[in-house]
């Protein structure tokens, strides 16, 4: 084993030398010069974090491994991180390295279980940190409580629909049946008037493009951010609850449905990552195609005044996107945290970089480009001309009957009625 360690050390030195040669000593020195003394607090903060992680990792170990010197455990952790950062092993090679180094002190399953439990606790700590940060954001932002409730509830309802679809697909062995039933959650949240991120990606920018009164770019971005946080909290809540259900409060192995969800998490992060840039492009395009269909369902529901008509208009494109396994950012807010909680062999970083962020960007582009702007450019000239009953610096004294008369004159012959004016009529009397 000593010879093997020496070989690994030599390979590490070679890889480090190759990395320095690739970057260039001059370029590296220039970057360090730009950081100056600012590098010291960065290294100090990261070092303190790793020291604390080592104390936590010790509590994940069993038997005599827990009595190992803290410095030994710290060195093992650093060796694992070095292996992850310098080799293309999908952040898993370092875990094998840590297990092998622990096994030199005590052979058997304790070394492997210590590494796996430590990885799971690390992922759970990330989820808790993100959740607490989201709660702080919600606490600082002042919005009516019904809006927050709607944003959180929409993420939760969509997540429950995803659980239902995966469960049915696993039990029947026919994924198409799960796809046919998934729209239950989507239709429910939209009939209740809740906000979903993929929907506001389409509707909010159109109000800005149409120069609606009071709509600003900052307001649109703020709307997106708030809906993202609310949807994530709702989906994460369901992820934790269903992980408890599928594992009997983490006391047993995940149920067959839980194992399927964990497998989905691995396949749709590490699977893309293994293909590099081609995988990233594929993920982005799947996000584009997804919200093309989802936003089509959102807009399609507006053509009907009946519940049955709205549900039918939404059901078809939503079933299509789920059956084609396109990437939906809010559905993924449930799937991947739940997969991590049930032992999925990927990291939080893998989830964020190799799924959530590209999916969000793809959903935004797909919904806005293929649905929002397409419909806007198609129907803008055929829509009734929108006007305001007041103008800057002008006060019109109109009673309710006069306002109704003007609105009746603005009604299109096809039956489409003009939307309410952006600016409310003022009484100048």
pLDDT in tens, 52-72: 888 888 877 777 777 888 888
Choosing from 65, 86, 121, the residue where a domain stops is: 121
Q: Which domain holds residue 201?
A: 141-379
Choosing from 90, 121, 152, the residue where a domain stops is: 121
**Residue 386 pLDDT exceeds 90:** no
**Residue 267 pLDDT exceeds 90:** yes
Choosing from 121, 153, 188, the residue where a domain stops is: 121
Task: Classify residue 262: in a domain, yes or no.
Answer: yes
pLDDT in tens, 90-105: 566 777 778 788 887 7
Strand ranges inside 132-214, DSSP E: none
Instruction: Give the pLDDT of residue 196.
Output: 93
Q: Are residues 93 and 154 in the same domain?
A: no
Task: Classify residue 219: in a domain, yes or no.
Answer: yes
Q: Are residues 290 and 406 in the same domain?
A: no
Share of the chain above pLDDT 70, in %: 79
Instruction: Give the pLDDT of residue 61.
Output: 77
More confident residue, 105 or 398: 105
Q: Which of 81-95, 188-202, 285-299 has the lowest mean pLDDT?
A: 81-95
Q: Are residues 205 and 61 in the same domain?
A: no
Q: Are residues 11 and 56 in the same domain?
A: yes
Instruction: Give the pLDDT of residue 130.
Output: 64
Q: Are residues 265 and 226 in the same domain?
A: yes
Q: Are residues 212 and 335 in the same domain?
A: yes
- C-alpha pair distances (Å), 27 with each of 37, 86, 270: 18, 19, 32
Cα–Cα distance, 355 to 80 (Å, whole number): 24
Q: What integer best gives the mean pLDDT of the chain?
A: 81
Task: Classify residue 371: in a domain, yes or no.
Answer: yes
Q: Are residues 155 and 301 in the same domain?
A: yes
Q: Are residues 158 and 230 in the same domain?
A: yes
Q: What's this model's pTM, rounded to 2 decimal places?
A: 0.62
Q: Are residues 179 and 315 in the same domain?
A: yes
Q: Are residues 165 and 199 in the same domain?
A: yes
**Residue 359 pLDDT exceeds 90:** yes
Task: Classify residue 358: in a domain, yes or no.
Answer: yes
Task: Classify residue 134: in a domain, yes or no.
Answer: no
Task: Classify residue 53: in a domain, yes or no.
Answer: yes
Domain count for the chain, please give it.
3
Long-range contacts from 118-124, C-beta under 8 angstroms, 24+ separation: 118/56, 118/57, 118/60, 118/61, 119/95, 119/347, 120/340, 120/343, 121/56, 121/60, 122/53, 123/340, 123/341, 123/347, 123/348, 124/340, 124/341
More confident residue, 40 or 310: 310
Query: For 251-263, what is the mean pLDDT?
Result: 93
pLDDT in tens, 182-233: 999 999 999 998 989 999 999 888 888 888 888 888 888 888 888 998 999 9
Q: Are residues 248 and 155 in the same domain?
A: yes
Instruction: Give the pLDDT of residue 8.
Output: 67
Q: Are residues 63 and 146 in the same domain?
A: no
Task: Classify residue 171: in a domain, yes or no.
Answer: yes
Task: Classify residue 384: in a domain, yes or no.
Answer: no
């Amino acid at each position: 084993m000593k010879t093997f360690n020496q070989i690994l050390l030599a390979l590490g030195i070679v890889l480090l030398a190759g990395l320095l040669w690739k970057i260039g000593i001059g370029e590296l020195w220039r970057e360090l010069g730009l950081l100056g003394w600012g590098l010291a607090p960065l290294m100090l903060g990261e070092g303190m974090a790793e020291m604390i992680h080592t104390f936590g990792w010790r509590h994940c170990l069993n038997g005599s491994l827990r009595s190992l010197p803290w410095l030994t455990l710290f060195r093992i952790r650093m060796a694992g991180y070095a292996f992850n950062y310098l080799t293309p092993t999908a952040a898993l090679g370092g875990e094998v390295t840590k297990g092998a180094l622990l096994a030199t002190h005590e052979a058997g399953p304790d070394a492997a279980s210590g590494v796996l439990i430590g990885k799971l606790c690390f992922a759970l700590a990330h989820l808790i940190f993100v959740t607490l940060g989201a709660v702080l954001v919600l606490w600082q932002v002042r919005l009516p409580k019904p809006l927050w409730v709607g944003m959180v509830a929409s993420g939760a309802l969509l997540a429950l629909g995803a659980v239902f679809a995966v469960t049915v697909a696993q039990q029947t062995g026919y994924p198409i049946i799960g796809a046919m039933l998934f729209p239950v959650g989507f239709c429910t949240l939209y009939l209740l008037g809740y906000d979903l991120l993929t929907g506001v990606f389409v509707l909010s920018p159109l109000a800005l493009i149409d120069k609606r009164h009071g709509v600003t770019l900052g307001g649109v971005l703020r709307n997106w951010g708030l809906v993202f946080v609310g949807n994530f909290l709702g989906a994460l809540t369901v992820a934790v609850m269903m992980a408890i259900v599928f594992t009997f409060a983490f006391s047993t192995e995940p149920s067959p449905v839980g194992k399927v969800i964990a497998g989905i998490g691995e396949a749709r992060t590490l699977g893309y990552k293994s293909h590099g840039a081609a995988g990233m492009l594929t993920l982005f395009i799947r996000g584009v195609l997804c919200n093309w269909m989802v936003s089509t369902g959102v807009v399609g529901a507006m053509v009907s005044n009946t519940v049955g008509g709205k549900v039918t208009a939404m059901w078809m494109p939503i079933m299509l996107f789920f059956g084609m396994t396109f990437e939906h950012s809010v559905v993924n807010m449930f799937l991947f945290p739940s997969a991590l909680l049930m032992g999925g062999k990927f990291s939080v970083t893998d989830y964020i970089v190799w799924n959530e962020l590209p999916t969000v960007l793809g959903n935004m582009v797909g919904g806005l480009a293929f649905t929002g702007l397409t419909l806007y450019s198609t129907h803008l000239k055929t829509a009734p001309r929108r006007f305001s009953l007041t103008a800057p610096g002008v006060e019109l004294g109109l009673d309710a009957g006069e306002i109704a008369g003007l609105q009746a004159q603005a009604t299109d012959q096809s039956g489409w009625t003009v939307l309410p004016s952006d600016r409310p009529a003022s009484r100048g009397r």
